[in-house]
């Protein structure tokens, strides 16, 4: 590879900045800047374009970083394979990368491919960043780099979002694996010298790495796809609300009125009743500020905070939620509210089935928007 003198600081700085975009997409997701899919596709496209430009200026330098990052990623994952056969799902964050990218609740074959491809892009990008930082790779600096990557992730909500316990076992596994990443990165950069490795051999190895990672992905999917908890929400920002997945008329009306009248940017994450809340602001759950009260439905509680006049249709919806939640014995005496409750149950059954989930809410809200719009004419 080009020696330190042959590679300018501009090339190194450009390589480092462009390579960082892969992990920055994940960090921005953690801190609520946008949906993971949108951030990742945008920033990876910019990274790829930028690195292609760097390749024109220093092709051997860039190739060395790609080679080293790929090999280090393979080692990083290979040393953890025995753990998945010991009932430790260490690769579940990779599966969740895929579910977030493809917007599915549970891993599929397609989402595993997407998740592991993103994981590999991160591993290669970290290798390129290290290659850009140091002119002469050393074992100690490569291991320090690997450990610093994990140290940085421990400062984020990474473990909480993907459901890892921050215990001694987790720390031991993750630090040891990142130390192995660093050692492999150093050894790979040494072998990337033109005198030690031929292009054909490097190309063959780079083709073999995705196959090896694919075998790990298949093994993990076979063992854990059916038992992994549902995917984290695609968005983690201040417009995220968490509620129970029970499709009650009051909850359906509440989510719609929240998005229609209070927070148009609202997104919802649905969990099983009494499951621990890990994401977003609580809504219509026991710890929420907006929830069913002794004499009011959750929709009533919310709509008291909305200024302005109410239409007859909206008043009917609010009355329906009160009767359905607070005074159920009186619902049968109100034919109009009974029809409204039946409508809510029907549309939620058509679009969501027996449980509310994020994917079904958009078409459900369209139905409610249409009904509300029709009532105004």
Q: What angle do CA 335, 341, 345 make, to 5 degrees?
A: 145
pLDDT of residue 1 exceeding 50: no
User: Distance between CA 197 and CA 135 in Å, rounded?
Assistant: 19
pLDDT of residue 128 exceeding 80: yes
User: Distance between CA 2 and CA 15 in Å, rounded?
Assistant: 14
| DSSP string over 252-305 | HHHHHHIIIII-TT-EEEEE-TTPPP-SSEE-SSTT-SSS--SSS-HHHHHHTT
Output the CA torsion sign for 43, 48, 54, 56: negative
Residue pLDDT, tens place only, 265-274: 999 999 999 9
What are the CA-CA distances from residue 69 to residues 51, 89, 180, 303 (Å)?
Answer: 14, 23, 12, 54
pLDDT of residue 110 exceeding 90: yes
User: Distance between CA 200 and CA 206 in Å, rounded?
Assistant: 10
Output DSSP code: residue 105. S
User: Distance between CA 66 and CA 132 in Å, rounded?
Assistant: 11
For 41, residues 6+ apart whose C-beta sits below 8 A from its C-beta are none
Residue pLDDT, tens place only, 49-97: 999 999 999 998 998 999 999 999 999 999 999 999 999 999 999 999 9
Minimal CA–CA distance to 99: which of 278, 350, 282, 357? 357
Whether the model clears a pTM of 0.95, i.e. scores above it, the answer is no
CA 141 to chain centre: 31
Angle 36-57/92-102 helices, nearest 10 degrees?
Answer: 100
CB 321 within 8 A of CB 290: no
Tokens 């949906």 correspond to what residue?
35
CB 230 within 8 A of CB 278: no
pLDDT of residue 329 exceeding 90: no
User: Distance between CA 312 and CA 160 in Å, rounded?
Assistant: 44
Return the number of other C-beta atoms located less than 10 Å from residue 87's C-beta: 8
Residue pLDDT, tens place only, 184-238: 999 999 887 644 556 666 666 778 899 999 999 999 999 999 999 999 999 999 9
Percent of the chain surpassing pLDDT 70: 94
User: Distance between CA 307 and CA 305 in Å, rounded?
Assistant: 6
For 219, residues 6+ apart whose C-beta sits below 8 A from its C-beta are 81, 84
pLDDT of residue 28 exceeding 50: yes
């Amino acid at each position: 590879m080009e020696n330190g003198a042959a590679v300018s600081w501009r090339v190194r700085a450009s390589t480092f900045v462009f390579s960082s975009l892969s992990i920055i997409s994940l960090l921005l997701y953690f801190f609520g800047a946008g949906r993971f899919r949108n951030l990742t596709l945008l920033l990876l496209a910019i990274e790829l374009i930028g690195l292609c430009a760097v390749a024109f200026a220093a092709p051997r330098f860039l190739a060395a970083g790609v080679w080293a990052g790929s090999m280090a990623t393979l080692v990083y994952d290979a040393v953890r394979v025995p753990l998945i056969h010991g009932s430790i799902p260490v690769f579940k964050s990779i599966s969740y990368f895929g579910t977030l990218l493809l917007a599915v609740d549970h891993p599929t074959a397609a989402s595993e491919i997407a998740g592991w491809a993103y994981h590999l892009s991160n591993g290669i990008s970290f290798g390129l960043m290290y290659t850009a930082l140091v002119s002469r790779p050393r074992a100690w600096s490569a291991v320090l780099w690997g450990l610093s990557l994990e140290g940085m992730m421990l400062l984020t909500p990474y473990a909480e979002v993907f459901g890892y316990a921050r215990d001694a076992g987790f720390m031991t596994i993750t630090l040891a694996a990142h130390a192995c990443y660093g050692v492999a990165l150093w050894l790979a950069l040494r072998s990337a010298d033109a005198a030690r490795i031929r292009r054909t051999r490097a190309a063959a190895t780079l083709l073999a790495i995705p196959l090896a990672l694919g075998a790990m992905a298949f093994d993990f999917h076979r063992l854990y796809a059916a038992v992994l908890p549902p995917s984290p929400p695609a968005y983690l920002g201040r417009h995220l609300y968490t509620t129970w997945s029970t499709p009650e008329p009051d909850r359906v009306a509440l989510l719609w009125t929240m998005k229609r009248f209070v927070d148009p940017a609202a997104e919802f994450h649905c969990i099983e009743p009494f499951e621990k809340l890990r994401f977003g602001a609580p809504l219509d759950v026991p710890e929420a500020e907006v929830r069913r009260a002794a004499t009011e439905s959750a929709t009533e509680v919310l709509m008291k905070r909305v200024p302005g006049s109410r239409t007859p249709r909206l008043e009917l919806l609010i009355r329906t939620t009160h009767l359905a939640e607070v005074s159920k014995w009186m619902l049968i005496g109100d034919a109009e509210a009974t029809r409204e409750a039946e409508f809510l149950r029907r549309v939620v059954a058509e679009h969501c089935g027996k449980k509310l989930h994020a994917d079904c809410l958009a078409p459900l809200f369209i139905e409610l928007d249409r009904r509300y719009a029709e009532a105004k004419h």
